[in-house]
Chains A and B, each alone.
Chain A
């Protein structure tokens, strides 16, 4: 058999990647979340290396508005496959077939795959695949990619010689539109291949389309559109074509769908009646996050982490490495570097791996179930009341894994001021790297209390809301929030394999980070702690306070006195946290495990508790959760702001905000608990009153942004 190339094309969340994995035996990431496939991937049909299958990103149309649409459109036109495997979600057939009508225009042989046949069956619906096939002139196969139903039938079709020889359906959209398309074809003919003229004719009528066209052609097309619209009572040409495509879909599917769920709610609809209910949605969201963070960072997570911290990295690893180095007669300084620096630092971070894995497992479960998409929807309703857009919540959701992609995801927000604000706010949400810091303080100063980790997450959300309110009061951020449209995927019970794969990917990244950046940081921290100026000369220090690290920390530690922690150790941990937030734990691991102060992890954390005290510890945690993120995230902020002034504004705002919140927390809590009242307490009260006044003061002039300016394409 000759080499063949098939492109797998479908809407987001239609099961493309599941089918790709089923056909090729690959192990690509799957998620119940639109946009999982963001790049094209390639594989070979199982047992047929000559048949290549290309998994393209999910897209709603070939309009080339989004990055996914650009990738798919380029692949299909510049390097056309032998045939297209067009997968459609059977539970949402009409909407999915919209893009199918565009694929017809491409003139490439096609096979239509109706996925989720099992879900349709459960709902008492059947689709007459043969009848539909007769109408569109292409093979139609109903499958369940998840359960492997009819994959063999699809494979048979792919291997049959007819697959690449079927003739594309020539859709007829009526005399008026066909005349416009014919004229457009004439205009663009010199710029595109003959076989793709119909496809490019439709594309060339999209507003702002310029690809391959010179100015004269663009002008002619513009005139053509204006002529059509003026002769049709101002009807928008693009909308008219979209309407006609849906009419065509109605004709094609009419009489092919049997059974109906009209008037009946699907399982997802019934769950959504509760989960996205106006009054219950937010309490349920809070409860879910309390359970997720509570279980992973305290209860179950702690049970697992106690062993890794106290036994594995407290006794087994240091004991084994120490005896090995002794046997090899390794010099004392190198033993110190390895045991007090690398093992203590990296071990302190790796000790939290079990907690991370439990958290990643639960987040992966929520993501694959479809609940994560609901959180954005729920938060949009709440955010809108405070002048923020639900669009801002998507980067915040992504940012709960890592701030860097979260900040970058803000580019999906068209409105510049909303986008800038989201860039500033994203790193307030605790990323994966901050979780060991939260876990450390939850264990060290709060006795593994269940509420600490969820409180840290909600502190991030509260910081986003409060900052959003503050920034929206300033002229640069004023205005109505951008509109937000998002498709909610159906709820599905996630496959264990999918959830475990996602958990492992994230967990392995955490471990790799500990073995690379954290390891290098440990060496640098150890060196700065071991060397310093003592008795007027550079030497290995006897007293830690003489080390370079202590001197560096002492330079800035005074600034944190009003926050309740002014030791050089705390200042140093804050600085090293800029390299990677896990370094806060790494630094404490080295500092409090240094010079054989401690023999087990438990003692290190007890030293942390003793060093900070309860209020100082919480104040330190608050500051480090909210202050400027790691260098990688700062780089992302710089890139997304694309302006030095805005970058500095973001960093200064985050620092001042974190300082103010920690300051107010410490001073007011200290006043409440110890009854100590002084000038600095008054200052803290003034900060609170000043913020409240700033938020509630009447506005002199209200500027209203035109809500129709930002079109959102569903």
Chain B
């Protein structure tokens, strides 16, 4: 294995690892939403929808 293969392969692995970690983190931060906010073009509007449904009884 050349150093170039090792370097590029390791870099790619790190990038993939970081992407997966960030996706898992975002999913944990917003478990209500089935999507990942960082990739959603409507994230701001979705923030409203991801909250509990105010039209269903919430104990008030």
Output the residue of A360, A402, A412 with the most chain B CB within 10 A: A402
Asked if A650 is an interface residue, CB under 8 A from chain B, the answer is no
Docked complex Cα distance between A401 and B15 (Å): 28
Assess the B39–A520 pair: CB atoms within 8 A: no
1/0 contact string of B10-37 vs chain A (CB within 8 Å): 0010011001101100000000111110
Docked complex Cα distance between A520 and B43 (Å): 21
Asked if A329 is an interface residue, CB under 8 A from chain B, the answer is yes
Assess the B39–A509 pair: CB atoms within 8 A: yes
Assess the B40–A331 pair: CB atoms within 8 A: no
Docked complex Cα distance between A411 and B55 (Å): 8
Assess the B19–A516 pair: CB atoms within 8 A: yes
Within 8 Å by CB of A411, from B3, B8, B20, B49, lies B49
Asked if A39 is an interface residue, CB under 8 A from chain B, the answer is yes
With a cutoff of 8 Å between Cβ atoms, the chain B residues found around residue A210 in the complex are 59-60
Docked complex Cα distance between A516 and B35 (Å): 13
Minimum CB–CB distance from B35 to chain A (whole Å) comes to: 4
Residue in A closest to B44 when the chains form the complex, CB atoms: A29
Interface class of chain A by DSSP: helix
With a cutoff of 8 Å between Cβ atoms, the chain B residues found around residue A691 in the complex are none
1/0 contact string of A406-418 vs chain B (CB within 8 Å): 1011011010000
Asked if A686 is an interface residue, CB under 8 A from chain B, the answer is no
With a cutoff of 8 Å between Cβ atoms, the chain A residues found around residue B41 in the complex are 360, 401-402, 432, 505-506, 509-510
Asked if A232 is an interface residue, CB under 8 A from chain B, the answer is no
With a cutoff of 8 Å between Cβ atoms, the chain A residues found around residue B12 in the complex are 334, 337-338
Docked complex Cα distance between A516 and B41 (Å): 14
Docked complex Cα distance between A515 and B39 (Å): 9
Assess the A520–B7 pair: CB atoms within 8 A: no
Q: Which of A65-73, A158-166, A570-578, A673-681 forms part of the interface with chain B?
A: A65-73
Asked if A613 is an interface residue, CB under 8 A from chain B, the answer is no
Output the residue of A325, A512, A635 with the most chain B CB within 10 A: A512
Asked if A147 is an interface residue, CB under 8 A from chain B, the answer is no
Within 8 Å by CB of A67, from B9, B42, B45, B51, lies B51
Assess the A412–B55 pair: CB atoms within 8 A: yes
* Known A210-B59, A516-B23; contact A38-B2, beta-carbon cutoff 8 A: no
Assess the B40–A334 pair: CB atoms within 8 A: no
Assess the A411–B40 pair: CB atoms within 8 A: no
Residue in B closest to A632 when the chains form the complex, CB atoms: B35
Docked complex Cα distance between A338 and B39 (Å): 22
Docked complex Cα distance between A376 and B47 (Å): 21
Asked if A405 is an interface residue, CB under 8 A from chain B, the answer is yes
Asked if A1 is an interface residue, CB under 8 A from chain B, the answer is no
Output the residue of B1, B3, B23, B39 with the most chain A CB within 10 A: B39
Docked complex Cα distance between A65 and B58 (Å): 11
Minimum CB–CB distance from B10 to chain A (whole Å) comes to: 11
Assess the A35–B48 pair: CB atoms within 8 A: yes
* Known A401-B41, A509-B40, A513-B39; contact A409-B5, beta-carbon cutoff 8 A: no
Minimum CB–CB distance from B15 to chain A (whole Å) comes to: 8
Output the residue of B20, B40, B58, B60 with the most chain A CB within 10 A: B40
Asked if A237 is an interface residue, CB under 8 A from chain B, the answer is no
Docked complex Cα distance between A401 and B22 (Å): 23
Residue in B closest to A404 when the chains form the complex, CB atoms: B35
* Known A209-B60, A516-B23; contact A329-B4, beta-carbon cutoff 8 A: yes
Within 8 Å by CB of A334, from B9, B34, B58, lies B9
Docked complex Cα distance between A329 and B59 (Å): 65
With a cutoff of 8 Å between Cβ atoms, the chain A residues found around residue B1 in the complex are 331
Residue in A closest to B52 when the chains form the complex, CB atoms: A67
Assess the A402–B42 pair: CB atoms within 8 A: yes
Assess the B55–A401 pair: CB atoms within 8 A: no
Assess the A405–B19 pair: CB atoms within 8 A: no
Assess the A405–B2 pair: CB atoms within 8 A: no
Docked complex Cα distance between A328 and B2 (Å): 8
Assess the A39–B48 pair: CB atoms within 8 A: yes
Docked complex Cα distance between A432 and B35 (Å): 14
Within 8 Å by CB of B39, from A70, A360, A516, lies A516
- What 9 additional pairs, Cβ within 8 angstroms, besides A330-B2, A334-B5, A411-B55? A325-B4, A328-B3, A330-B5, A334-B12, A405-B49, A414-B55, A632-B35, A632-B36, A636-B34
The 6 closest A-B pairs by CB, nearest first: A635-B34, A328-B4, A408-B49, A38-B48, A405-B46, A632-B35
List, sorted by A's number, 11 A–B pairs whose CB atoms are closer than 8 Å: A65-B54, A328-B7, A331-B1, A337-B12, A398-B45, A402-B40, A404-B42, A505-B44, A516-B38, A633-B35, A638-B34
List A residues at the B interface (Cβ < 8 Å). Answer: 29, 35, 38-39, 64-70, 209-211, 325, 327-331, 334, 337-338, 360, 398, 401-402, 404-406, 408-409, 411-412, 414, 432, 505-506, 509-510, 512-513, 515-517, 519-520, 523, 631-636, 638-639
